[in-house]
Amino acid sequence: MLEVKTDSEQQMADLSVGGGCPSCGGALSVRKTPGQVWGYCPSCRRLSQPRMAVGPRGIVLMHRTAAA
C-alpha cells in the first residue's frame, strides 16, 4: 500500500510504502525533496537513499546493492 502526503510550498513529498524495505520487508517511510530521496525503515532502522522514478505502473523505488 502506498500513502502520499505533499507540501507544495516546501516542494516535499512523504510516502509510506508497505513492505518496501529491501532488508526486512517492513514499511518504508520515504521523503522526496528537490534533488534528494531518503528512506527509513522503523522496523530494522535502515536508512537508505533510493532512486525514485515514475514508471508506466506508478512510482518505482530502486535500492543499490553491493557485493560483500
On average, the pLDDT of the chain sits at 86
Mean pLDDT for the stretch of residues 18-31: 92
Cα–Cα distance for residue pair 26/29, rounded to 1 Å: 10
Residue 61: per-residue pLDDT:
87
Residue 24 pLDDT exceeds 80: yes
Read off the pTM. 0.75
Cα–Cα distance for residue pair 7/1, rounded to 1 Å: 20
What are the pLDDT digits (tens) for 30-46?
999 888 999 999 999 99
Residue 1: per-residue pLDDT:
58
